[in-house]
Amino acid sequence: MVYTEDKIKSALELINNSKEIVIISHKSPDGDSIGSSIALYYYLKAKKANVTMCHPDNAPNFLNWMTGTDDILTLESDEDHVNEKMAKADLIFLLDFNTSGRIGKLDTILEETTAKRIMIDHHREPNLNFADLIFSDIQSCSTAQLIYEFIEASNDLDLLDRNIAQAIYTGIITDTGSFRFSSVQPKTHRIAASLLDLNIDHSTIHESLFDSNSENRIRLVSYTMLEKLVINRDLHTAYISLNKAELERFTAEKGDTEGLVNQALSIEGIKMAVFFKESDGIIKISFRSIGKIPVNEMAKNNFGGGGHLNAAGGKFVGKLTDAIDSFVTILPKFVNNNKSTFE
C-alpha cells in the first residue's frame, strides 16, 4: 500500500511544520508533470501553505492554457528567483521523477539544500535514497492520479476545487493517451468521474491539449510522416527522425513533436515505434510499444534511459545518423529476445 497511515501522518506533519515549500518536476515537462505540480500547488495553498513551483524549463505551448502555469518559475526563464526559493525551502516535493538525472541543472541546486524531501512518482526503479518520504507506485497510470490519492488519503477531498480537478484530469489523460493505455485502472475512471463532478469542462480540456495546432506544427507533422517515416514490417517496427535543420525549417516550438511517435505506433501491424530528435547537441529518443514489449529495457540497456514498459526515453551523444544506425543494429536482437511479445 502506497499511502499508509504512518507515512501520510509524517507527510502532513512536514507540510504543517514547513515555512517554505517548493514543488519541482522533471525537465522537458509534459501534461503529467505540469498537471500534478499545479494540483499539488493549489492543494497546499488550500491548506494555507507557502508554496512555489520551480521547474527546470518552460512548459510547451499546448499546456499554457491551464490555470496555474503562470505561477511556475523555471531555471530557463528566472534562474535567480528559482535559486532564491530553493535556498529558502524547508520542504521540497519531487513529482513525476525518481532520480536526479531527470531535472537537469536543478539537481545541483537541490543537492545544496537541507530541505526535507517528499517524492511522489510512478516510474520504475525509484532511487530509494532520493527522498525522506517516498510514495512510489509503478502500477499507477500517472503521478496526477497519485496526487489525487495523496489528497484522498489525507482526508482532504473536500479541498478539491476546479483548478485542482482540471490539473489532475489533464495529467491523467495525457499520461494515459486519453484512457487507452494498459496502465489505466478501474479507479482511474472513478477518479475522472469525481473530477467531472467539480464542473471541469472535459471537452475544452481535450480540445486545448489535442486540437489546438499552429500551421507550422501541422506542416511539420505532415512532412515527418511523408518524408521521414521508416517501416520495417518484418520486425513490426517504425521509426522517424528529425534533425536540427528540419526543425528550424518548420519553426518548431517546444511541444510541436509531441505525439509523433504515437502516430507511427498507430500504423496497422506496428508494435514498436521510435522517434529520434536532434536537440541541444544530443539525440533525444522516444520509444513506444504495445502489449508487453519492454521498450524501457531497450532504452536502459542501450541509450542511457528508461521509463515505463510501453513508453520510455533515452539519448545518444553523436550524430543523428549514428543514433539511427545503432538502433537498427540492435533492433533484430531485441525483437528476437522478445519474440513472443512481437508475434
Last residue of one domain, picked from the residues 210, 242, 265: 210
Question: Tens digit of pLDDT for each residue in 82-103?
Answer: 999 999 999 999 999 998 888 9
Mean of all residue pLDDT scores within the chain:
95
Whether the predicted pLDDT of 1 surpasses 80? no
Average pLDDT, stretch 309-331?
Answer: 96
Q: Which of 226, 269, 214, 14 is closest to 119 using CA atoms?
A: 14
Q: What is the pLDDT of residues 123-135, one digit of tens each?
A: 988 888 899 999 9
Q: How many CA atoms lie within 13 A of 173 on its CB side?
A: 20
Q: How far is CA 30 from CA 101, 126, 148, 162, 286, in A?
A: 17, 19, 18, 20, 13
What's the confidence (pLDDT) of residue 125? 85
- Whether 38 and 170 map to the same domain: the answer is yes
Q: What pLDDT does 31 receive?
A: 96
162 and 277 both lie in a single domain: no
Q: Are residues 35 and 180 in the same domain?
A: yes
Q: What is the pTM of this model?
A: 0.91
pLDDT in tens, 150-159: 999 999 999 9
CATH number for position 173: 3.90.1640.10
Indicate if 177 and 124 belong to the same structural domain.
yes
- The tens digit of pLDDT for each residue in 200-215 reads 999 999 999 988 899 9
Among 99-103, 284-288, 336-340, the range scoring the smallest mean pLDDT is: 99-103
- What average pLDDT does this structure show over 59-65? 92
Query: The C-alpha cell of 220 is what?
Result: 511539420
Query: What range defines the domain where residue 275 resides?
Result: 215-342
Provide the number of structural domains found in the chain.
2
219 pLDDT more than 90: yes
pLDDT for res 181:
86
220 plus 189 within the same structural domain:
no
pLDDT tens-place string over residues 229-272: 999 999 999 999 999 999 999 999 989 999 999 999 999 999 99
Q: Do 40 and 183 have their domain in common? A: yes
Q: Are residues 201 and 299 in the same domain?
A: no
What pLDDT shows up at residue 212?
86
Give tens-digit pLDDT for 15-40. 999 999 999 999 999 999 999 999 99
Do 195 and 219 fall within a single domain? no
Domain boundary among 210, 238, 261: 210
Do 129 and 219 lie in a common domain?
A: no
pLDDT surpasses 90 at 180: no
**Residues 150, 93: one domain?**
yes
Of 210, 225, 249, the domain-final residue = 210
